[in-house]
Amino acid sequence: MGVVNVTPDSFSDGGACADPRAAIARVEQVIEEGAAIVDIGGESTRPGAAAVSPAEELDRVMPVIEHAVRRPVVVSVDTSRPEVIRAATRVGVHMVNDVRALGLPGAVAAVAASQVAVCLTHMQGSPADMQDDPHYDDVVGEVAAFLAARVAACGRAGIARERIAIDPGFGFGKTLAHNVELLRRLDVLAATGLPVLAGLSRKRMIGAITGRAVGERLAGSVAAAVIAVQRGACIVRAHDVAATVDALRILAAVDGGDER
């Protein structure tokens, strides 16, 4: 899954694709580099990011989505808002990637009213406060239980299990120790039988382990992606698509798996 942030304040690319033309060029780049999925988002969820109105979020993402759905790639919209979900599904998006796990009022119903896939991500707190003092007694157990409850809520609304992927939410209300434990034991989430998505690319945990600034986290991010797939992830969300695809092709050749 290649990242396309249509935001002026993304932590990972400094707003390089805030302009829709740049974002559309970025869609073409991630397809060219081998991404199977393109994830298009108009809200930055980094701690302290400025709030964006629904109208502004729609203005940012819709032109990019309308381009992407005509290209040979699975298109995911990275959003939590029901109005954005509805607009994106109307024009043919294939997947909703929600770091709030469809927690906003109306979000479950918006996905249920469509046929699209959804990724449910764990977050403790909200983007504004999630890194203040994250606490768990059993991070893996609590994340797994939260995701199971969200999958059940989707099921009650009529969203078939086959449409759902889950994600431990690396960096979303977690310390470095929590993130490392979740990556080490990703197999616990994979054992649910649901596809697991892992988003580790360029994140603070990669910086904390390597001592590298955000623009220097390629090797660390690729290593983390490989480990995630070895432990059961079947989608990895990445900024550096070409390097990540190469690494996963090597892994697939050795392990006999399939990186897509």
What residues act catalytically? 203, 237
Count of residues touching ligand 9MG (by CB under 6 A) = 13
Q: Could you tell me if 131 and 177 are in contact, meaning their C-beta atoms sit under 8 angstroms apart?
A: no
Q: Is 97 in the site for ligand 9MG (CB under 6 A)?
A: yes
Region from 21-29, 167-175, 204-212, 226-234 binding ligand 9MG, contact rule CB under 6 A: 167-175
DSSP string, 3-28: EEE--TT-TTTTTTT-SHHHHHHHHH
Q: Is 199 in the site for ligand 9MG (CB under 6 A)?
A: yes
Which residues 22-61 are close enough to bind ligand 9MG by CB under 6 A? 41, 45
d(CA 239, CA 169): 16
Q: Is 167 in the site for ligand 9MG (CB under 6 A)?
A: yes
Where are any strands of DSSP class E within 151-237?
A: 164-167, 197-199, 235-237
14: left (phi over 0), alpha (psi -120 to 50) or beta: left
Both tokens assigned to 180: 């490392």
What Rg do the C-alpha atoms of the chain give, in angstroms?
17
Report the residue number whose CB is nearest to ligand 9MG.
199
Residue choice 57, 78, 240, 259 for contact with ligand 9MG (CB under 6 A) = 78
Q: Is 206 in the site for ligand 9MG (CB under 6 A)?
A: no
Residue choice 99, 166, 233, 236 for contact with ligand 9MG (CB under 6 A) = 99
Question: Binding residues for ligand 9MG, per CB under 6 A?
Answer: 41, 45, 78, 97, 99, 119, 121, 167, 169-170, 197, 199, 237
